Amino acid sequence: MARTPLGSRLPDFPWDTIADVRERAAAHEGGLIDLSVGGPVDPVAPSIQLALTEAAAAPGYPQTAGTPELRRAIVSALARRFDIAGLTEKSVLPVIGLKEAVAWLPTLLGLRGATVVIPEVAYPTYEVGALMAECTVVRCDDPSAAPRDASLVFINSPSNPTGAVLSVEQMRAWVAFARETGAIIASDECYLSLAWSAQPVSILHPKVTDGDNTGLLALHSLSKTSNLASYRAGTISGDEDLVQELLLVRKHAGLIVPGPIQAAMVAALSDDVHEKLQQSIYATRRVTLLKALTEAGLAVDDSDAGLYLWCRREAMSSRELLDWLAERGILAAPGHFYGPAGADHVRISLTATDERIADAAKRLVS
């Protein structure tokens, strides 16, 4: 029987499709300012680096479930930072970065061939993970219109790429959908700490759940406000039965966060000061870019939280706006990466140094 390569079932890798735009932007006399990918550029806090170094000599296999210290730190940080309630050490799990967790979630939950709902404008890995599990993908933002046979629903607040924030009422509607249909809700909350003009809440907040986390999973990352993208450090929390199911499969598959990274995660989760400092850095960069984009004639929609500004320009498609920015040496992400509904927008990231953000602002208004 002929083999069908898995990659042939997946869309083109998005960033490969704009290589020509990157080349054009890089030709600018002042060099490339890359605002396309939300990768942190600021240093990791010294306390986190120290924790990593101190654990570097450990020779044994790490625990898939995470050390007891790490599990306690996850529970404590989620309660302290986001008012998440009802968690125990058995209802949290460290993962090898959030992208890995998202991509493999339909497979690890045994949902092969099922229906998976993703947002109309969505982080591409939701679709990729569903396609890897040979699932049917449906884009829908309204639980009243979502297919009743859905087995898994990805929601994302604050949104990547739009920065839109779901209200408590909207999240409660998705929880009600889960209760009525038996679907699992996976809430990607990796930007939850970055609130600007609206206050996001977790799917596991008591105002949303009424104290019942059944069927609900919250996905968090330390890549953004702790600058740990290179460490690959994230967490899944929520329904204890689901978390324990994922733990068992991950044990069999060898999906384990390395021991030194677990130690670094404890340090990151136990210290809120470095996170608040990083929030203030992004807030300053946001103000600089927002002012310049507006002065340059771009409209900024949503963008109430998170690391991105969701922009459009009158009578331009996302590709045309991408080219307009490239002429100024600025690389952004075209909105169509995130679904057909994003075709008129580009996503501009706040993740560049203060100097490069200031330079981008000057280029936009010159």
pLDDT of residue 13: 72
- Least confident residue range of 14-23, 185-194, 251-260, 334-343: 14-23
How many separate helices (H) and strands (E) can be counted in the chain? 12, 13
Does 39 share its domain with 134? no
- Least confident residue range of 91-100, 300-309, 333-342: 333-342
On the question of pLDDT at 264 being above 90, the answer is yes
Does 147 share its domain with 256? yes
Does 112 share its domain with 259? yes
On the question of pLDDT at 335 being above 80, the answer is yes
Neighbours of 137 (CB within 10 A): 17
Residue 250: domain span? 46-270
At 259, which amino acid appears? G
Does 307 share its domain with 189? no
Residue 251 forms part of a structural domain: yes
Does 61 share its domain with 145? yes
Which residue, of 270, 300, 329, is where some domain finishes?
270
Does 117 share its domain with 20? no
The CATH number of the domain holding residue 283 is: 3.90.1150.10
Residue 1 forms part of a structural domain: no
On the question of pLDDT at 296 being above 70, the answer is yes
Task: Measure the CA–CA gap between 134 and 71, rounded to whole angstroms.
Answer: 32
- The string of pLDDT tens digits covering residues 110-142 is 999 999 999 999 999 999 999 999 999 999 999
Domains: count for the chain: 2
- Least confident residue range of 35-39, 171-175, 240-244, 297-301: 35-39
Residue 351 forms part of a structural domain: yes
Give me the chain's average pLDDT, please.
95
Task: Measure the CA–CA gap between 278 and 299, rounded to whole angstroms.
Answer: 26
Tell me what the mean pLDDT of segment 309-320 comes to: 91
Q: Are 175 and 168 in contact (CB under 8 A)?
A: no
- The string of pLDDT tens digits covering residues 45-76 is 999 999 999 999 999 999 999 999 999 999 99
On the question of pLDDT at 212 being above 80, the answer is yes
Tell me what the mean pLDDT of segment 179-187 comes to: 98
pLDDT of residue 1: 62
pLDDT of residue 112: 96
Does 98 share its domain with 13? no
On the question of pLDDT at 16 being above 80, the answer is no
Residue 128 forms part of a structural domain: yes
Which residue, of 246, 270, 294, is where some domain finishes?
270
Does 50 share its domain with 135? yes
pTM: 0.94
Residue 324 forms part of a structural domain: yes
pLDDT of residue 30: 92
Residue 124 forms part of a structural domain: yes
Does 38 share its domain with 51? no
Does 178 share its domain with 205? yes
Which residue, of 230, 252, 270, is where some domain finishes?
270
pLDDT of residue 281: 97
The CATH number of the domain holding residue 220 is: 3.40.640.10
pLDDT of residue 344: 93
pLDDT of residue 174: 98
On the question of pLDDT at 207 being above 70, the answer is yes
Q: Are 278 and 226 in contact (CB under 8 A)?
A: yes
Neighbours of 301 (CB within 10 A): 15
Tell me what the mean pLDDT of segment 213-230 comes to: 96
pLDDT of residue 15: 67
Half-sphere exposure (CA, 13 Å, Cβ side) for 187?
29
pLDDT of residue 318: 86
Tell me what the mean pLDDT of segment 90-105 comes to: 97
pLDDT of residue 317: 87
Q: Are 119 and 138 in contact (CB under 8 A)?
A: no
